Amino acid sequence: MQVCCEVGVFGVRVLGLQIGRVVVLQVKCEAEVELRVAPEEHPVLLTEAPLNPKANREKMTQIMFETFNVPAMYVAIQAVLSLYASGRTTGIVLDSCGGILTERGYSFTTTAEREIVRDIKEKLAYVALDYEQELETAKTERFRCPEVLFQPSLVGMEAPGIHETTYNSIMKCDVDIRKDLYGNIVLSGGSTMFPGIADRMSKEITAL
């Protein structure tokens, strides 16, 4: 898995990180080569996933301070930053990140290959507002794949859809803040870029 830290004026790529342990570490700093700035002159904002292992965070902190000599660093959860970026301080974030298909043996090793796949997914696929009706009126290739987000049973998974997961999360919160959460649902991540997903999400949440 490749972890990319966007750090204001310079970028750091740490290749070879796997969940739970660091296997191979290859650090590339593009600051002085491309942007012609010194990392030691700029504080760093490091984003991470909610379940990022503590060992990974500690390793990244060590790299930032000992390799790049940054003056300060702050670690923030990606979903929280998405909420702030939308202009909200109260809300619930559905963070559905993009991934790479591995079970069928496809391997995308370069950034260009991954960008092509991402572009195809976001421009050609879409989420049907009414799945059953869409099956009768259109070809299915473009919307059947995203439908798995709402109906995981289509691929044999026994799990709630993203609308049910969001609803269940809100219902576990205090009654006094549920209205604010329902009014501030933020979709974040590569798999929330499908056209039509916001309308479908609103429809499904309202129906629950």
pLDDT tens-digit series, residues 93-115: 888 865 555 555 566 666 777 77
Task: Pick one of 1.10.3470, 1.10.357, 3.40.50, 3.30.420 as the CATH number of 92-207.
Answer: 3.30.420
CA nearest to 154, candidates 122, 186, 132? 132
CB 182, CB 163: distance < 8 Å:
no
Grade residue 118 by pLDDT with cuts at 50, 70 and 90: confident
Element housing 106 (H / E) = none
pLDDT for 13-39, tens place per residue? Answer: 333 334 344 333 334 445 555 667 788
Q: Compare 41 and 1 and report the one with higher pLDDT.
A: 41
Tokens of 34: 């491309």
Grade residue 144 by pLDDT with cuts at 50, 70 and 90: confident
pLDDT recorded at residue 40 = 85
- The reported pTM is 0.66
In angstroms, the CA 147 to CA 128 distance is 7
Q: Compare 175 and 113 and report the one with higher pLDDT.
A: 175
3-state DSSP assignment of residue 97? coil
pLDDT recorded at residue 19 = 38
pLDDT recorded at residue 41 = 87
Span of 27-31, 71-75, 77-81, 183-187 with lowest mean pLDDT: 27-31
% the chain with pLDDT above 70: 74
Q: Compare 135 and 18 and report the one with higher pLDDT.
A: 135
In angstroms, the CA 11 to CA 16 distance is 16
Residue extent(s) of CATH 3.30.420.40 domains in the chain: 3-77
CATH 3.30.565.10 fits 3-77, yes or no: no
pLDDT recorded at residue 169 = 93
Grade residue 138 by pLDDT with cuts at 50, 70 and 90: low
Pairing of strands 21-29, 10-18: antiparallel
CA nearest to 145, candidates 38, 134, 136, 137? 134
